């Protein structure tokens, strides 16, 4: 297997492994996986609180995000406020009802991060993160060049 195929395969494996760890929370709170991802994203990234930001950063389709957000709003797990400048834009916040779910997802995220970096020295972990950020910048540049 070529090294790039191995990298892509491992990225997919990591995503699947994290999703698998979210499934018990999904069952417990009757959530879809995308709904759990949205709650976790908003909890971990409160500055990126629009449906468009969620779709962009989580690489999800806007229609899937919209459907999931509507469901979460109906269930009282999210609240929304209109943007002061652009009335077409809404900002999402986790409701108090969503806090236990967000806490459970946060605990999973922390445990998963520890599991991922098990056996890494502090130096190795920092180097991995540095290289990952470099790859991320390369991909962002490529996306902009393709626009």
Tens digits of residue pLDDT in 24-66: 999 999 999 999 999 999 999 999 999 999 999 998 999 999 9
Angle 12-35-31 (CA atoms, 0-180°, nearest 5)?
A: 105
Distance CA 56, CA 19 (A): 18
22 and 60 in a single domain? The answer is yes
87 and 126 in a single domain? The answer is no
DSSP letters spanning 63-99:
HHHHHHHHHHHHTTSEEEEE-SS-TT-EEEEE-GGGH
Distance CA 31, CA 35 (A): 6
127 and 112 in a single domain? The answer is no
146 and 83 in a single domain? The answer is no
SS3 26: helix
Average pLDDT over residues 108-132: 95
pLDDT category at 115 given cuts 50, 70, 90 is: very high
Tens digits of residue pLDDT in 63-107: 999 999 999 999 999 999 998 898 889 999 999 999 999 999 999
- Whole-model pTM: value is 0.89
pLDDT of residue 61: 93
54 and 80 in a single domain? The answer is yes
107 and 141 in a single domain? The answer is no
pLDDT of residue 1: 61
Residue 60 phi/psi, 5-degree rounding, is: -115, 155
| Structural domain of 133 | 122-147
For the chain, what is the domain count?
A: 2
């Amino acid at each position: 297997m070529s090294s790039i195929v191995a990298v892509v395969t491992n990225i997919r494996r990591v995503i699947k492994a994290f999703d698998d760890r979210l499934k018990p929370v999904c069952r417990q709170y009757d959530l879809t996986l995308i709904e759990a991802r949205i709650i976790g994203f908003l909890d971990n990234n409160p500055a990126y609180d629009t449906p468009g930001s969620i779709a962009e950063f989580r690489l999800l389709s806007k229609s899937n995000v919209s459907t999931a957000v509507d469901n979460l709003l109906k269930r009282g797990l999210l609240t929304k406020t209109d943007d002061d400048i652009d009335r077409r834009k809404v900002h999402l916040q986790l409701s108090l009802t969503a806090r236990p779910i967000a806490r459970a997802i946060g605990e999973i995220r922390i445990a998963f991060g520890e599991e991922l970096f098990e056996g890494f020295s502090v130096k190795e972990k920092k180097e991995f993160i540095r290289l990952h950020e470099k790859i991320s910048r390369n991909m962002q540049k490529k996306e902009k060049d393709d626009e």
